[in-house]
Structure 1
Amino acid sequence: MAPHILVTGAGGYIGGSIAADLLNAKEGFTKGTEIHAAVRSQEQAQSLSGLAVNVAHLDLGDKKLVENYLLSHDIDIVINTATSIDRTVALNLISGLSARRAATGKESYLIHTSGLSAFDEVTSWPFGPIKDTDAVYDLESKSKNTYIVRQVDTLIVEHCKASGVMLFMIFPPTLHGRGSGTWNQLSPQIPSLIKAGVKERRVYKFPDSRDAILAHISDIAAFFTLLVNAILRGDRLPEGQDGYYFLVSHEVSWWEILEKLAARLYARGLIDSPDLDVWPSEKVVAEAVGVPVRFAHSMWNASAKITCERQSILGWQPKWNKEQFLSRLDDEIDDFLELGLPKSSLLDSLKPKSAQ
């Protein structure tokens, strides 16, 4: 019987691109797998209806519903891209995978997508530079009370261990490029900067220049396909509290990104000056990009000091680099002008429920 894979957040930027990459696999163990796509709305479900996927308009906050779905469809692997800060969703998925494991005797796997902001000093990470081969779980546990992502990360590790669910923790960086999903095809970060620049008629920067760690969405989707292949092949990989994987393709300073972005927007007549101004306050940043103040710096001036040592285990070789990214910034502008800033589950999850 073909393995069954559930991708949560399949209407989103990362989840949609992963689902598309899995569907397009022409070789390896992912070819012929049954892909299940969990989405939040009927509109997202409709956008996926023409693909060879099992679309589930699934409330991930409903524990019984999630358990029933994973059991009745014999889900082997859940790739969770729906949220990195909602512990209820994560725990419901783990509960469902654990129930399926108990009912069938087969291994069940959770691939959880978190974020490298967990290791940034602006989110009160106290331990400085870190490698994904370090005792990351132990360090996150010691600092979990100061940042929600670390709280959820450690909770997931602990519950997977207690439930016998095999776990892989994936930490993508700031992403760029047009996704290959059917609903949300843009990342919130770069398009939000473009939107803010156009709205304010100039581009702003933070007073300190930090290095952005980046990857193209196509490279990230390719990593997930490699990981699923390795799991289905039966490879012995670091997992559980040892299963942290940092993903980075290239680095470039935020000021350099903004300078080049300002030059391109000015050339199109979309802003009044190619020169950068410093943001007057983080409150102004937050209002411009549409997030609570406490998340503005961590999303648009993030610079975690990390080293990726595990990404090569799977033979992951990113195709994009710094030079390509900077030379293709006009593509980012074109995509934003064509698609606008899509509704983002990531940005929504950062807002109080009363504001959604």
Structure 2
Amino acid sequence: MVGNILVTGASGYIGGSIVAEILNRKRGGTPEILIIHAAVRSLEQAHSLKRLDVTAVQLNLSDETAVADYIHSNDIDLVINNATSIDPKIASNLISGLQKQRETTGKGVFFIQTTGLSAFDENTNWPFGEVKDTDNVYDLERQSRETYIVREVDAFVIEQSKKAGVTSFLIFPPTLHGRGSGTWNQLSPQIPAIVQASINYKQVYKFGECRDAPLAHVSDVARFYGQLIESIFVGKKLPAGEDGHYFLVSHVVSWWDIMDQLAANLHARGLVTTESTKIWPSDEMAAESVGVPASFAHSMWNSSPKVLSEKGNIIGWKPVWTRESFLNSLGQEVDDFLELGLPKSSLLHSLKPVSGHSTN
């Protein structure tokens, strides 16, 4: 099969890197990829994509009719949703648009939802302990969907896609690092926010419990999406729907090791007063420093989901980055922040409207 792709959140950290990866594969001779449509929020973001071989569009994803019309008029076969993992309405509109496309053309259609491993963290009341992406993840998330918005949306996507006859995949990146390859936002939400808070306080803080962070470099994650898309378009049979959960962990590092390394790098630049780290006096102070509701602070900067990634092998995904290369790159992370500042658009902004949702 050949197809047209719509990438939402195409100016974001993950979305922009995915667009760049797909373009590289298209230029490298992947004939199955026809046209890439890049959905963004603002005219300025659309302009940033003009130099690329994509069709940039300001698309209101909350408008069900506009979404369906765009998918149909542009013969979209596959949607990658990076816009949000916490808004079921947007996912529903995209899935409904694909359903109408399938009903009109008779072709298979595909929906890839970018979600997050915070769904499997005890900080978000995940009750089932360690989980593999080869387990029945859908059933486990469904049982605990009421206690965390990400799990609620994950289960919704699976159920809505099944009803609509849309083949769905849920992709779970961990905490990401590295400079993205998009045209607009090239930084992750997590590490730059910690660097900014540390500079503001002249001190690197950490949470009191030392927990392990599953990590991946954004380039490794983008490569996974590229391999997944190619596998779909050549007709490879892949676990999908209720079995379509993919965890993208490539290495694990303790948050305390990350903070210690950041403190050393920031102190060497004269940006904090000491190489020693301190414990956050309160969750409220930590949350305020990075601009999210207190209920999300631990799940963003002290998360430790116990997960095992096994399905990546199905499409030949092999991460390049390791624990050692990550720790050695933290100085570059600081340099990137000093050059680019906080992310222009990120998960940090999407969390603010949902502070009323219970995560406890």
Alignment of 1:282-301 (within 5 A): 282-301=283-302
**Structure 2: which 5+ runs fail to align?**
356-360
Find the aligned partners of 1:37 and 1:53 in 2 and give their Cα distance: 7
Aligned to 1:234: 235
Q: TM-score, normalised by structure 1?
A: 0.98
Give the 3-state SS of the residue equivalent to 2:183 in structure 1.
Answer: coil
Match for residue 48 of structure 1?
49
1:133-181: CA deviations, max 9, x gaps? 1111111111000000000000010000000000011000000000000
Partner of 2:14: 14
- Letter of the structure 1 residue corresponding to residue 91 of structure 2: A
Deviations along 1:31-53, one digit per CA (max 9) or x if unpaired, are 65210000011110010011110
1:214-242 Cα deviation digits (max 9, x unpaired): 00000000000000000000000000011
Secondary structure of the 2:317 match is: coil
Which whole-Å CA distance do the structure 2 matches of 1:28 and 1:235 have between them?
18
Q: Give the superposition deviation at 1:4.
A: 0.4
The alignment status of 1:5 with 2:16, answered yes or no, reads no
> How do 1:166-315 and structure 2 match up within 5 A?
166-315=167-316
Please tell me whether the aligned partners of residues 32 and 230 of structure 2 are also in contact (alpha carbons under 8 angstroms). no
What is the CA-CA distance between 1:27 and the residue it aligns to? Answer: 3.8
Aligned length: 355
What per-residue deviation string (whole Å, max 9, x for no partner) do you get for residues 70-96 of structure 1? Answer: 000010100111100011100000000
The 8 Å contact of residues 29 and 233 in structure 1, kept in 2 or not, is answered as no
Per-residue CA deviation, residues 100-125 of structure 1 (Å, 9 max, x unaligned), is 00000000000110000000011000
> 1:348 offset after TM fit, Å?
1.1
Q: Residue 60 of structure 1 corresponds to which residue in structure 2?
A: 61
Q: Tell me which residue corresponds to 1:93.
A: 94
Mean Cα deviation higher: 344-353 or 56-65? 344-353
Percent identity, aligned pairs only, is 59
Change (3 A) 1:261 1:31: farther
What amino acid is the match of 1:51?
L
Q: What letter corresponds to residue 20 of structure 2 in structure 1?
A: A
Tell me, what secondary structure is at the counterpart of 2:138?
Answer: helix
**C-alpha distance in 2 between matches for 1:22 and 1:122:** 34
Q: Distance in 2 between matches of 1:100 and 1:51?
A: 26
Q: Look up the equivalent residue of 1:121 and give its one-letter code.
A: E
Tell me, in whole angstroms, the C-alpha distance in 2 between the residues paired with 1:69 and 1:116: 31
In structure 2, what residue type is equivalent to 1:247?
L
Number of the residue aligned with 2:358: none
Q: Is residue 22–residue 31 contact of structure 1 (8 Å, CA) maintained in 2? A: no
| SS of residue in 2 equivalent to 1:33 | strand
TM (norm. structure 2) is: 0.96
Q: Aligned-pair distance for 1:353? A: 7.6
Contact 2:117 2:173 in 1 (8 A): yes
The CA distance in 2 between the partners of 1:286 and 1:202, in whole Å, is 16
Q: Would the aligned equivalents of 2:206 and 2:277 in 1 still touch at CA under 8 Å?
A: yes
- Note the C-alpha offset of 1:328: 1.0
Q: 1:298 & 1:41 partners in 2: Cα distance?
A: 29
Matched residue type, 1:248: V
What is the Cα-based RMSD across aligned positions, in Å? 1.4
Are the counterparts in 2 of residues 179 and 218 from structure 1 also a CA contact under 8 Å?
A: yes
Deviation at 1:311, TM superposition (A): 1.0
Verify the 8 A CA contact 2:32 2:233 in the aligned structure 1. no
Q: Secondary structure of the equivalent of 1:341? A: coil
State the one-letter code of the partner of 1:145.
E
Take 1:32 and 1:107, find their aligned partners in 2: how far apart are those partners?
15
**Segments of 4+ in structure 1 off by > 3 A?**
26-32
CA distance in 1, matches of 2:50, 2:28: 24
For structure 1, the residue ranges without an aligned partner over 5 or more in a row are: none
CA contact (8 A) 1:168 1:243 kept: yes
Distance in 1 between residues matched to 2:251 and 2:149, nearest whole Å: 26
When structure 1 is superposed on structure 2, of 18-27 and 53-62 the one drifting more is: 18-27
CA distance in 1, matches of 2:112, 2:300: 22
Q: Distance in 1 between matches of 2:315 and 2:354?
A: 39
Aligned pairs for 1:139-158 within 5 A: 139-158=140-159
Conserved? CA contact 2:266–2:272, under 8 Å? yes
Tell me, what secondary structure is at the counterpart of 1:221?
helix
Deviation at 1:2, TM superposition (A): 5.0
Contact kept, 8 Å, 2:204 with 2:276, in 1: the verdict is yes
User: For residues 77 and 332 of structure 2, what CA distance do their matches in structure 1 show?
Assistant: 37
Q: Deviations over 1:233-276 (max 9, x none)?
A: 00000000110001101001000010010011001100011101
1:273 and 1:30, CA in 2 relative to 1: closer, same or farther beyond 3 A?
farther
- In 1, the alpha carbon distance for the partners of 2:32 and 2:337 equals 33
Cα shift at 1:195: 0.6
Partner AA of 2:121 in structure 1: D
Q: Which residue of 2 aligns with 1:38?
A: 39
